Amino acid sequence: MHDHRHDHHHHDHDHQDVPPDISLRVKALESLLVEKGMVDAAELDEIVDSFENRIGPRNGAQVVARAWTDSAFRQRLLADSTAAIGELGYLGGQGEHMKVVANTPAVHNLVVCTLCSCYPWPTLGLPPTWYKSSAYRARAVIEPRDVLREFGLQLEDNVEVRVWDSTAEVRYLVLPERPGGTEDMTEEELAALVTRDAMIGVARVAAPQGSDS
């Protein structure tokens, strides 16, 4: 087999980063045990998924809350995301090359990647199962408004949707809009409002419960 499908991939950079040795050892264990029928891949996924919110830090929420409360940081974040996130000490793993895209009343951003290896888990934790699904990967690009509607996010017609396809070099993070009714909240309280889904772009950050402004 020599067909490596280089037709639109020109550089070695387009190829996957090889994960760390320890990660490959786990993949080797898992794939051999699954192949021999000793464990069921779906059952393993089920266990891992049950810890979805327990894997990796939710540092992205801290980044968002800082951007909401510190306009100078927000400017640095949008100009050079990698450096600004680095200021907070949240780089490493596969999160090195970050690009933060800001939602506005006129623009809604959505992040997709054909592979979970391009998910910025040092800032967002473990990718949810749906993010890795072929349905999401294909449809987010073709019919993002329909996808968002299925997530319960109905966008007005005049809101532009921008879909960002992560590459081997750039991982995207959505800076959601700060909800109303949060003017008196501290950075820490704000961070608690920010969900993973909002940072992928399939949700907005909801106003805190009890707030009616």
Q: Shortest gap between Cβ of 156 and other proteins (angstroms)?
A: 31
Catalytic residue among 31, 116, 166, 211: 116
Closest to 205 in 3D by CA, of 185, 187, 179: 179
Catalytic residue among 50, 71, 113, 166: 113
Residue 14 as a binder of other proteins (CB under 8 A): the answer is yes
Question: Which range, of 35-43, 80-88, 143-151, 179-187, touches other proteins by CB under 8 A?
Answer: 35-43
Structural tokens at position 63:
């980044």
The alpha carbon of residue 16 and the mean position of all alpha carbons in its chain are separated, in whole angstroms, by: 18
Residue 6 as a binder of other proteins (CB under 8 A): the answer is yes
Strands 107-112 and 171-175: unpaired
Report the distance separating Cα 62 and Cα 199, nearest Å.
11
Is there a contact between 184 and 212 (Cβ–Cβ < 8 Å)? no
Structural tokens at position 185:
């909240």
* φ, ψ dihedrals at 111, nearest 5°: -110, 135
Closest to 6 in 3D by CA, of 23, 15, 211: 15
Question: Which range, of 41-49, 79-87, 98-106, 145-153, touches other proteins by CB under 8 A?
Answer: 41-49
User: DSSP code of 88?
Assistant: T
Catalytic residue among 118, 166, 211, 213: 118
Closest to 176 in 3D by CA, of 122, 121, 109: 109
Residue 205 as a binder of other proteins (CB under 8 A): the answer is no
Q: Shortest gap between Cβ of 213 and other proteins (angstroms)?
A: 32
Q: Is 8 helix (H, G, I), strand (E, B) or coil?
A: coil
Residue 143 as a binder of other proteins (CB under 8 A): the answer is no
Mask 157-196, x = binds other proteins (CB under 8 A)? ----------xx----------------------------
Report the distance separating Cα 158 and Cα 107, nearest Å.
9
Contact residue for other proteins among 1, 72, 135, 142 (CB under 8 A)? 1
Residue 9 as a binder of other proteins (CB under 8 A): the answer is yes
Query: Is-catalytic flag, 50?
Result: no
The residue ranges that bind other proteins (CB under 8 A) are 1, 4-6, 9, 14-33, 36, 38-40, 43-45, 47-48, 51, 54-57, 93, 114-118, 121, 126, 167-168
Could you give the residue numbers annotated as active site? 113, 116-118
